[in-house]
Chain A
Amino acid sequence: MGLIVFIGFSILLTGLWYVQIVSQRKYETSLKVQSFRTVRIPAARGRVLDRNGEVLADNQPRYNINLFLEDIRPQFLYEYTNSVKKEFVAKHGRTPKSTERWELERQARYRVGSNLVWQVSSAVLPQPLVLNPNPFERHYREQRAIPLSLVTDLTPQQIALFMEKASHLPGIELEVEPFRFYPHGSLAAHVLGYTRKVQNKENEDLSKEDEEVRFNYPTPVDVGVAGLESGFNEDLEGKYGAKAILVNNIGYRQSEETWIEPSPGRNLVLTLDLEIQKAAERAIAMSGPETRGAAVVLNVRNGDVLAMASAPSYDLNMFVRPNDYSKSDWDRLQDTVLTPQWNRAAQGTYHPGSTFKIVIALAAFEAGVMDLNYEVYNPGYFLIGSRKIEDNNAPKGNWAFMEAFKRSANTYFIDVGLKAGAERIIEMGDRFNLGEKTGVVQPSLESKGYFPEVGQRTKADGSRWKDGDTANLCIGQGEITVTPLQMALVTAAVANGGTLLRPRLVAQLEEQGHNSLPEVLPHQYRERELNVRAQHLEWIRKAMLDDVEDQKVGTGKAAYIPGMGISGKTGTAQIRTPKGIDHVVWFVSFAPYDDPKYAVVVTVEGHRISGGGVAAPKAKEIYKTIQKIEQDRLRNIAVH
């Protein structure tokens, strides 16, 4: 008898040992799976600042009204026992069967839920909301532990109404949710880009090693989908945290515990100067809100992009609060002519027109086929083979370099260009990295334009290269397209004495909240030395100065500001559109002449317009702001 008992207890102990010691892990896992729901805690997204700390992209609190189901369980039960069930009994004369009970309970829940929704929404909204039964039931079944969102994005007035009239309701709570906010709306939209709320992020890139947590409830996070928001998304978004909700056997929330604190993203400090950026956008918009164009402002000494504007632009907040914008706003975004989402400054490729004469002149000087005194007669046209290129820019007569440049005489530059030869022109363009991306933003957001390769004997379409093609190239037409950004770099290289720059937009990353030293992103601003004679660059710079300062014949005279030493070159090129011939006009410039610091390039698309008439005044507008900034700086230095 003792033996049987002994064996019996041994069996129990062995069983317990197996369950509690050997299989402990397995049962602990089951316990976690059934009683914890993991929820993502989004990290505070880094802000985007201009070079002076002005905020370009910010986070704003958004107030939402949520309903916590676990708080209204007593109401569910009360509604069921006191009305739904009684009504059933009154109607059918019997108590509900267990199979019917489920449906009746659902009805009771919906009544309680819709009543609450009605009370809340009639307090804060002009029209009360009607709770949609199916999503409500789905939320009840699948996400009982997390709150149900009722009204989102409350205005301050609505918050006040809510606090006064509805905050006492059971299960109803006001939640603060960080939302992306672009205080300047459309400013630098193409550079900044925007974010979208994405829910299933970790399911998309589950392959990433650091994504070890899979959430039951992945709270939506802001993810950059365009511009720098996208390119620097990882730095900006930080690392989200995780919290665990302990749920009871019927899935209601019991308690919460933060497992991993989120670590905030880093602020992005740009090289942009808010004032100059504003000026650039204002300048383009001078000729109307639908003006298509771009402006780039560079620091010619270090490649900092001070402004990069593309018009038309769009309000970045559209993507954050889509419902605040009308259908016509959204339609405009898709307009095939305006193409507001297209960054003309870095993605727009155009023939450079006469602005390319800067490169032609440099190639000719370097080739030794001309000097300052070399003269060419302009009969009003240039004959190449049987083709006649009109030259209405300069009057008939003999012109030397300086005069020909500021009058933008086509004959002159075709002559010296042909003398230098296509080979040397292409080689010079190659030194300026034409036809290649600048690397200022992520490659997908930039075009490389088109420029023939060194040694290339054919045109882009494969046909034979003829002298006429060289002549075309001499006036910036034909086998060449450039972006405004590329032209800014060409201008900057001439201005700074022959250094082709590598532009940058992001200066540093700084931690949010605490005063640790920011991480200055390494920037090798010298892309390449042009290796040309300083004298030749100086001749071109002088010619560009004259182009603006000669108030009689200078094509760029409209950009003139006394004492600023603005030096520039205008250009006009034809672009073929489905609707016929259209124009793109240019003004490329630097200033001050004596000690160049800024390069300003303006490009405008339009019909029957000229670089001198349209683009130069816009550059002047930008220089006015630069002048003011410089004067303020000098004043500050003087004060301190």
Chain B
Amino acid sequence: MYEATLTQKDSRIDWLLLGAIAGLMLVGLAFIYSASTAIDGNSRFWIKQAIFYCGGIGLAVGICFIPYETISRFATVGYWLSIALLIWVMFFGVTVFGAKRWIDLGFFRFQPSEFAKIAMIFMQASFLSRSPEELRDPKLFMKALGLILLPFVLILKEPDLGSALVLFPIGFGIMLVAGVPMKFLWRFIGGVSLLVVLLLVDILFAPPSWQIKLEEYQRHRLLVYFGQDFAPRNASEADRQRLKQLQKDKSYNVEQALISVGSGGLTGKGWRQGTQNALGYLPRAVAHNDFIFSVIAEEKGFLGSVMVIGLYSVLIFSGIKIAYQARDRLGKLLAVGVVTMLFSHIFINIGMNIRLMPVTGIPLPLLSYGGSSVLCSLIAIGVLQNVYIYRRSH
């Protein structure tokens, strides 16, 4: 008992967590290097990623100097600022691959939806860190729900279905731990599930005129995931052929990711020895970001996959521990929000690589190439550390 108190007192920083993060960042650099230089020897993606890491670490350290209560005072401001940015992006955003998700800052394209996730965690956590009696008020629950739905709708409009859907588990995690009565939560789950099921039934089976106007590519991704034919039953032969080809093209990423992961076997082909990426089967645009896990799994095999998941486990379980040790409800809820966000990303992204999940543009925290994602992940981890550092007293 004495020892435990001593270590707790001495360690202001969770070294295990930092070790896991450092490990993930090294893996990230190594495989972004492998993935991008295999195609273009002069690629500088890995250097840019290193700069993002440094920037992210800087921000995370910076956050650690300000107690999280202090930051939380600005939660409402941050939340509405992120909403404003999301609206801004709708009008003035940069369009890439048909989606308006980015704000061009010259040196780097900023993705407000990533920032919105953090802002929502703070908002939700500070909004719900009140007494359990108050939480039994349905109006309060509806307000909390509204806090999720507002950015959800805006991100969905970009369109970025993946990032939008990720807001639900985050919000749900915070509500659950905050002590929102289970009957509300069940309704919440029920409502979301019903929505998803209706959406899927509509997309997969309803006649075209009855279908929700979903972006065509989103519909295709879902059809691919559920193994449905693109062609409606009454399509002409020419249409059927065209759609069949389209279906092949659309299933392509998933197929290639599976081949990459599967052909890695137990030990993999070795760093920079993977062919799927080098030969361009794994599409170049996504190999180093959304599908970076395929590259790791192909080159380092099942052992590499286990290692990556091991590092993430350390990260996530450290986060859970921090949540338990948090000094107050606010800290706990912040930690829970961060943990659910990271975990959702990890699960959806890796699941997508092995066809457990439909393809959505959700990055793998710290490993995928991308400034917004890296900064957001590191800020989130900074928040975790913050909660850890200030777990005892001021």
Contact = CB atoms under 8 A, between A and B. Distances in A.
Interface of A: 1-2, 5, 8-9, 11-13, 15-21, 23-24, 26-28, 30-31, 34-35, 246-250, 254
A12 B261 CA distance: 13
B317 A2 contact: yes
Contact of B280 (A8, A20, A27, A250): A250
Contacts of A2: 317, 320
B305 A249 contact: no
A16 B297 contact: yes
A31 B276 contact: yes
Interface stretch (B27-35, B46-54, B346-354, B375-383): B346-354
A20 B339 CA distance: 28
Nearest to B265: A24
Contact of B312 (A9, A34, A250): A9
Interface string B60-71: 000000000000
Please tell me the size bucket of the interface on B: 35 or more
A26 B262 contact: yes
B347 to A, nearest CB: 5
Contacts of A249: 279-281, 283
B313 interface: yes
Given A5-B316, A9-B312, A31-B259, A246 B302 contact: no
12 contacts: A1-B323, A5-B317, A5-B320, A8-B347, A9-B313, A11-B347, A15-B351, A19-B258, A20-B261, A27-B262, A31-B275, A246-B279
B162 interface: no
Contacts of A12: 309, 346-347, 350-351, 354, 356
A19 B261 contact: yes
B264 interface: yes
A1 B173 contact: yes
A8 B343 contact: yes
A35 B263 CA distance: 12
B297 A247 contact: no
B16 interface: no
A248 B306 contact: no
By Cβ-Cβ distance, the 8 closest A-B pairs, closest first, are A27-B262, A249-B280, A20-B302, A248-B279, A31-B263, A24-B265, A249-B281, A27-B263
B244 to A, nearest CB: 16
B171 interface: no
Interface in B63-120: none
A34 B281 CA distance: 9
Contact of B259 (A1, A5, A17, A30): A30
A15 B309 contact: no
A39 B266 CA distance: 30
Given A9-B309, A12-B309, A31-B276, A21 B259 contact: no
Contacts of A18: 354
Interface in B266-283: 266, 275-276, 279-281, 283
Interface in B345-369: 346-347, 350-351, 354, 356
Interface of B: 173, 176-177, 258-259, 261-266, 275-276, 279-281, 283, 297, 301-302, 305-306, 309, 312-313, 316-317, 320, 323, 336, 339, 343, 346-347, 350-351, 354, 356
Contacts of B317: 2, 5
Contact of A35 (B176, B264, B275, B323): B275
Given A9-B313, A250-B280, A20 B351 contact: no
Contacts of A28: 262-263, 265
Given A1-B177, A20-B264, A13 B351 contact: no
Nearest to A24: B265
Contact of A27 (B258, B275, B306, B351): B258
Given A35-B279, A254-B279, A20 B262 contact: yes
B326 to A, nearest CB: 13
Nearest to A30: B259
A249 B347 CA distance: 28
B329 to A, nearest CB: 15
Given A9-B312, A248-B279, A248-B280, A16 B343 contact: no
A37 B123 CA distance: 57
A34 B302 CA distance: 22
A254 B320 CA distance: 48
A21 B354 contact: no
Contacts of B177: 1
Contacts of A19: 258, 261-262, 354
B354 A16 contact: yes
Nearest to A250: B280
Nearest to A21: B302
Nearest to B306: A13
B162 to A, nearest CB: 17
A215 B173 CA distance: 56
A246 to B, nearest CB: 7
B262 A24 contact: yes
Contact of A16 (B173, B259, B305, B313): B305
A247 B275 CA distance: 10
B74 to A, nearest CB: 27
Contacts of B347: 8, 11-12
Given A8-B343, A12-B309, A30-B259, A21 B279 contact: no
A34 B275 CA distance: 11
A30 B263 CA distance: 9
Contacts of B259: 27, 30-31, 34
A20 B306 CA distance: 11
A249 B283 CA distance: 9
Nearest to A4: B343
A31 to B, nearest CB: 4
A506 to B, nearest CB: 48
Contacts of B301: 20
Nearest to A22: B262
A246 B275 contact: yes
